Structure 1
Amino acid sequence: MLRELDMGAISDGRLYRHSDMVKAGCNDCKGCSDCCRGMGNSIVLDPFDVYQLCKNLKTSFEGLLQSAVELHMADGMILPNLKMVGEKEQCSFLNEQGRCSIHAFRPGFCRMFPLGRIYEEQGFRYFLQVQECPQNPKTKVKISKWLGIPEIQKYEKFVLNWHNFLKRTGKILECLESEAAVKNACMFVLKTFYLAPYEPEKGFYAQFEERRKRAEEYFF
């Protein structure tokens, strides 16, 4: 858990809200795409990320799995992540010019970098990872602007609810005795939050809440 780490060793020692300024600006990553390479399976996609990708690329979750996304086990749960490809192990969405081809609707992990989240009892705050981005000098930028996500309060509420759901569900999966039961539970999460298409005209957050409540009835 991040709370157990030496925050002074990985951050500037401060915790931030989305309304705060932080020294993270990197000149729009001009000439650099280091954070788009060699990330392994660490860029885990939440339901909002997949919703955005499907809507803007006009494809389905199954379509993403055939090209730029793969599945792996994360904290006992089967979840999707961006796929790294080629000799340079770069993101599937990085173009020949070394630029992000989905920048306008990139995943939350990418938007946040080099920030991270630390979860607390009633929410979360951001911290600045001081050793992750090589670009210097950096400029101060407001975190909400850095993230560039409309309706930031609704988004952060979703992030917290999703985190808490995965945490609670993970504890239940640890108690299941058979591999078949674990697989069935994981498939339920995948089908409920990723495979079943969202309707863009209804908005994401309301649909997510409906699915979360249905999933909580199933698990809890």
Structure 2
Amino acid sequence: MRREVTLEEISDGNLYEANDMVKADCQDCQGCCDCCQGMGDTVILDPYDVHRLSRGLGKTPEELMSTVLELGMTDGNILPHLAMKGPQERCVFLNDKGRCSIHQIRPGFCRLFPLGRYYTEGGFKYILQIHECKKKNRSKIKVKKWLDTPDLKQYEKFVLDWHDFLIDVQEVFYHTEDETLIKNLNMYVLSRFYYTPFDEKEEFYPQFYQRLETAKELLKLEI
């Protein structure tokens, strides 16, 4: 999501890398689940998130989309996000005790929080958002330990490549008034990267990049 703000407005002003220590550890968020409710459509999922949920819950992407996920628009892209339910808009995966019922397979957005990503030319750094988490007295933890994600280098490359691809898609949207083209491109991205399951017997990333290369070729025809 494109945000027209400065680092000083939303963060402690520092840029972090995976091996840096950052004051983000909420001590298992004991007694607090504020970040799991009232989030609207902001917990946006990437293809790896949906693949991980699909595999972990034993449901097809289509089943997830019709139950626990919803579609929303972000900078022109139609993308899935976690559904929030009830008067408090609680995450559908938040249990009665205020704990995450899918913690082991939680989306990247949830693993990142209260950190964020600051994209630069050819990469990104991590930032500590200062207005997002109400927990006080957080302790320091290494960024990569906080993210708790296997093959972090490969994951970071995937995150950057997916981000860049969505920016390229947005550029098509910004330079056309053809509503049919916009709709068809959004449906293609959803079908190609979300609704069509990735083979669970094969590694995710090679499959993703095969699809990405095909999608990039399609974009060249539209630009």
TM bucket by the smaller chain? Answer: over 0.9
Offset of 1:9 from its aligned partner? 2.6
Alpha-carbon distance in 2 for matches of 1:176, 1:215:
18
Alpha-carbon distance in 2 for matches of 1:43, 1:5:
19
1:140 equivalent to 2:136? Answer no
Name the structure 1 match of 2:102.
Answer: 102
- Within 5 A, what are the aligned runs for 1:1-220? 1-2=2-3, 5-220=5-220
| 1:51-82 Cα deviation digits (max 9, x unpaired) | 10000001111111121100011111110000
Structure 1: segments with no counterpart, 5+ residues: none
SS at match of 2:18: coil
Offset of 1:38 from its aligned partner? 0.3
Structure 2: segments with no counterpart, 5+ residues: none
Alpha-carbon distance in 2 for matches of 1:81, 1:9:
25
Alpha-carbon distance in 1 for matches of 2:77, 2:8:
30
CA RMSD of aligned residues (A): 1.0
SS at match of 1:135: coil
Offset of 1:173 from its aligned partner? 2.0
SS at match of 1:200: coil
Offset of 1:101 from its aligned partner? 0.5
| 1:114-141 Cα deviation digits (max 9, x unpaired) | 0000101110000001121111211000
SS at match of 2:198: coil
CA contact (8 A) 1:38 1:84 kept: yes
Offset of 1:174 from its aligned partner? 2.2
Identity %: 49
Alpha-carbon distance in 1 for matches of 2:8, 2:181:
41
| 1:100-120 Cα deviation digits (max 9, x unpaired) | 001001000000000000101
Alpha-carbon distance in 1 for matches of 2:18, 2:45:
21
User: What is the identity, as a one-letter code, of the residue corresponding to 2:24?
Assistant: A
CA contact (8 A) 1:12 1:129 kept: yes
SS at match of 1:24: strand
Offset of 1:6 from its aligned partner? 2.6
Offset of 1:153 from its aligned partner? 0.2
User: What is the identity, as a one-letter code, of the residue corresponding to 2:177?
Assistant: E
Alpha-carbon distance in 2 for matches of 1:108, 1:64:
17
Alpha-carbon distance in 1 for matches of 2:10, 2:214:
38
Alpha-carbon distance in 2 for matches of 1:188, 1:9:
36
SS at match of 1:219: helix
Offset of 1:184 from its aligned partner? 0.7
